[in-house]
Amino acid sequence: LAFSEISRVRGALFQTEFVTEPFDLPEPIGDVVTITEKIYVPKREYPDYNFVGRILGPRGMTAKQLEQETGCKIMVRGKGSMRDKRKV
């Protein structure tokens, strides 16, 4: 009985008709809202941890991947955000 019921439900799930025409969204109403969130890094609590290196990754690939996955823009600013030319 359980097997036949499961088969019936599965069959009903796959027999639904899918819409093949593209889905049109209505035009947006109102002003475009930009949300900005600043996240401060606890540099004083962890002075030996390379936060900038971990966020940016090799050649900035980690930051690019985060931007693609989340749809946000990542900007690293402040002390330690630029490469020190003396260390190169």
CA distances from 71 to 38, 63, 68 (A): 16, 11, 5
Model confidence at 84: pLDDT above 80: no
Q: Mind spelling out the 3-state secondary structure of 15-73?
A: CCCCCCCCCCCCCCCCCCCCCCCCCCCCCCCCCCCCHHHHHHCHHHHHHHHHHHHHCCC
CA distance 64 to 39: 18
Give domain limits for the chain. 25-87
pLDDT band at residue 14 under the 50/70/90 scheme: low
Q: Report how far residue 36's alpha carbon sits from residue 49's, in angstroms, rounded to the nearest whole number.
A: 26
The per-residue pLDDT for 45 is: 92
Taking Cα atoms as reference points, which of 40, 73, 74 lies closest to residue 56?
Answer: 74
Whether residue 18 has pLDDT greater than 80: no
Question: Given a cut of 70, is residue 86 above it in pLDDT?
Answer: no
Model-wide pTM > 0.75? no
CATH class of 25-87: alpha beta
Question: Tell me: the pLDDT tens digits for 22-75?
Answer: 778 888 899 988 888 898 888 889 888 888 888 888 888 888 998 998 888 888
